Structure 1
Amino acid sequence: AAVVFGVSRTQLHEWLARYRVEGAAGLVPRSRRPLSSPAVTAAAVEDEIVRLHKDRNGRWGAKKIRAVLAGQGVAVPAVSTVHQILHRRGLIAARAGRQVRDPGRRFARQFSNDLWQIDGTQHRLVNGSAFWVVDVLDDCSRFLLAAVVGPSLTGALGWQALRAATASSGLPRQLLSDNGVTFTGRSLGIEVFFERQVHAAGIEFLHGRARHPQTQGKIEREHRTQNDWIADHRPHSLAEAQHVLDAYRTDYNTTRPHEALAQRTPAEVHQRGTPAILPPMDVAPADAYPAGAIMRQVSSDGTFRYHNVKLRLEPRWADLPVGLIRDHARLKIYYGHANIVTLIVGDIPHPKR
């Protein structure tokens, strides 16, 4: 019979044994599934994997989810298994073929507080109004030292952020920024008050190459994460925006694993220094204004008064003292000896002081 039906003698005797015990019911095909599956992920762990993915609006992948659960003491499977679970639950697409990216040239300081990065980024309130955030990030640990909200990107806001950072973590040896006039006057051939304050604090001030944001890559990457957070927690006012950023900074530092830190959080790596309280902003000009210039203080919204008329400059000049020189219908605006802009004021009377 085994030869006629093309099966092994072992299989034939197994069927005969079942028939003698169970009758015809014993010949019904049986499941090949093992009685136990020790490698199968527990349902509760799968549910937690799904919950974390959904709580982060799908932005956390298998690596971060596994790192968070492992940090909570949960027995979690391999990253590939976490990915398979998310795919099986219909939350992500199947894994594509492995792609090897060119990491480019990377650098990271060996110690906390050896180098900080500072930069500003813009967001919008629920009503569409823009606001700015100045961030200060530790290069070694990626610890977000400060995230300060303001209506415009000014040197005063940058200094406020740096003061907040030093008050909790001490002074850095070096500070890195881009070449924006908020932080440096290199492009104008002058020294703006933010960099004067940095130098007065004994901090070495560095700047990235022009049109090369990769130098500030760590803080630029942090801005992407911040953008996602703001999109999920859009504030209604500046005051609420600061609360949203405070919550974000706590989450970024203590909850979100960082791939560059071997899936540790920045708080696990960062070593605080001795707190230092820096003085308030000194906005005195670094060099002399033209003789006869009338002085005005630009307000936080970038405007100043000229014979009871409100004139507007770019927001980057907010909180700066400027000198005014009248030339017929033109009004030349100076910061120190640099003519930053010329406005057409027509027949508006020129004030005496």
Structure 2
Amino acid sequence: MPWKESTTMEQKIEFICEWRTGNHTITELCRSFEISRPTAYKIIARFEEEGYEGLRELSRKPRGTHPNATDEMVVGGILLLKEKHKLWGAKKIHKLLYNDFSEEKIPTVLTVHNILKKHGLVSPQKRLRRVKPIHPIFDPKLCNEVWSADYKGKFLMGNKIYCHPLTIADSKSRFVFTAKGHYKENLASAKAEFTKVFRKYGIPQQIHTDNGSPFGSVAAIQRFTRLSYWFIELGIMPVYSDPSHPEQNGRHERMHRDLKAACAKPSAHDLKAQQRRLNSFVKEYNHVRPHEALEMQTPASVHEFSTRPFPEKIVRFDYDSELKVLKVTRNGSVRWGSYNWVYVSASLQGKHIGALEMGNGIWRIFYRNVFLGFLATIYHLGQAKLRSNLI
């Protein structure tokens, strides 16, 4: 066992004094000082050879220069890269060393980490409580199968006005299409930015978001909003994380953490300056920063443009003849029969839905080719009720 905490030198001197009296055996002394017998004999041997000076702790520092020590030029390059990219870790800096040094001079990732740690450039990480992992809803195999979008949490700029950054990224390649700062999180702002991205990069098969406005609403049928129905009209299926489970879109949330550290701590003075900072982050994230999930490649080197172009004009949709076509009024309802009204969704006002009879008063309701829910025409006091497909 180790020596007790009160100075080690004092403990050793006391041990030698007790040993020199001859009143105690080595076993008794070891038990009293809580040390092992090899340690006791080692202390006695040092005392007999060098006296009390031999009891001092010997330096553990290696003598001379280690033959495998990292070249000073490489160490300087590591520190220079860390100064330029303060938020990056050893793995990403190690990858960039290959741009400036030959392979035989570049140390391992662990050595890069130790060099950064030695110079006080590694922030200690908090230990997180282990929890049962929740598997992501989607695991795309190709680019443009699923895109992720969200409004990263608002933050105050220097002029005391909030900035709400809208981010859109490909879930497979992690390529960030945009990080656009808005004053508000609303339909008009989001739709305008999605249009710009769609025109440049094409459209995906699905868009994965949370349930916040303007993307989704837990109170609406299938959580669809006006933005969701616009996606459907473009041929994109909106999909959502479960309520209160942002970790199901963990890839996007992880990118948001990097964006916040780079752009919001501290923030810029106004939206124009903040947008320049957001643009700089997107450029570095896509084209410079190696990504561990991509085998240390950059998102830009992995991403492929979508083969589905953005339709500038919404194509008219014709329901099959076996479906009953109903127009949603301004208050979100449809007329059912001569006297009854059924509320569907205010987000569908002015649009047409299709109803397919299943028998026994049950109808399946569609918007275009997307299933919305069941309509149970159970009349009670002259009213028909729309039942969710979850029931």
Per the TM superposition, whether the score is higher than 0.5 is: yes
Partner of 1:92: 122
1:231 & 1:69 partners in 2: Cα distance? 28
Partner of 1:179: 211
Partner of 2:81: 52
3-state SS of the aligned residue for 1:187?
coil
CA RMSD of aligned residues (A): 3.2
Matched, 1:246 2:283: no
Q: Following TM superposition, by how much is the alpha carbon of 1:217 offset from its aligned partner in structure 2, in angstroms?
A: 1.0
User: Conserved in 1, the CA contact under 8 Å of 2:135 and 2:248?
Assistant: no
Matched, 1:137 2:169: yes
**Letter aligned with residue 168 of structure 1:** K
Q: Deviations over 1:106-156 (max 9, x none)?
A: 553111001101100123211332111111110101100121221011122
1:155 & 1:102 partners in 2: Cα distance? 36
1:93 & 1:180 partners in 2: Cα distance? 33
User: Conserved in 2, the CA contact under 8 Å of 1:148 and 1:157?
Assistant: no
1:183-332 aligned at under 5 Å gives the runs: 183-189=215-221, 191-232=224-265, 234-274=267-307, 276-277=309-310, 279=312, 287-290=328-331
1:280 & 1:223 partners in 2: Cα distance? 33
Q: Please tell me whether Structure 1 or Structure 2 has the larger radius of gyration of its CA atoms.
A: 2
Structure 2: unaligned runs, 5 residues or longer: 1-61, 315-326, 333-348, 350-391
**Letter aligned with residue 120 of structure 1:** Y
2:226 & 2:209 partners in 1: Cα distance? 15
User: Conserved in 1, the CA contact under 8 Å of 2:168 and 2:176?
Assistant: yes
Q: Following TM superposition, by how much is the alpha carbon of 1:65 offset from its aligned partner in structure 2, in angstroms?
A: 0.9
2:139 & 2:111 partners in 1: Cα distance? 31
Q: Following TM superposition, by how much is the alpha carbon of 1:280 offset from its aligned partner in structure 2, in angstroms?
A: 9.2
User: Conserved in 2, the CA contact under 8 Å of 1:163 and 1:278?
Assistant: no
3-state SS of the aligned residue for 2:297?
coil
Residues 274/290 of structure 1: CA separation in 2 closer, same or farther (3 Å cut): closer
Residues 233/268 of structure 1: CA separation in 2 closer, same or farther (3 Å cut): farther
Residues 52/154 of structure 1: CA separation in 2 closer, same or farther (3 Å cut): same
- Alignment length (residue pairs): 254
Q: Deviations over 1:10-54 (max 9, x none)?
A: xxxxxxxxxxxxxxxxxxxxx9636x83x2222121112112222
TM (norm. structure 1) is: 0.64
Q: For CA contacts below 8 A with separation 6 or more, give which structure has more relative contact order.
A: 1
1:85 & 1:44 partners in 2: Cα distance? 13
1:32-181 aligned at under 5 Å gives the runs: 33=64, 37=67, 39-57=68-86, 59-71=87-99, 74-75=102-103, 76-92=106-122, 104-106=134-136, 108-121=139-152, 122-181=154-213
Q: Following TM superposition, by how much is the alpha carbon of 1:94 offset from its aligned partner in structure 2, in angstroms?
A: 8.5
**Letter aligned with residue 265 of structure 1:** T
Residues 120/193 of structure 1: CA separation in 2 closer, same or farther (3 Å cut): same
Partner of 2:385: none
**Letter aligned with residue 288 of structure 1:** T
Residues 89/143 of structure 1: CA separation in 2 closer, same or farther (3 Å cut): same
1:219 & 1:94 partners in 2: Cα distance? 24
**Letter aligned with residue 105 of structure 1:** H
Q: Percent identity?
A: 27
Residues 134/96 of structure 1: CA separation in 2 closer, same or farther (3 Å cut): closer
3-state SS of the aligned residue for 2:164?
strand
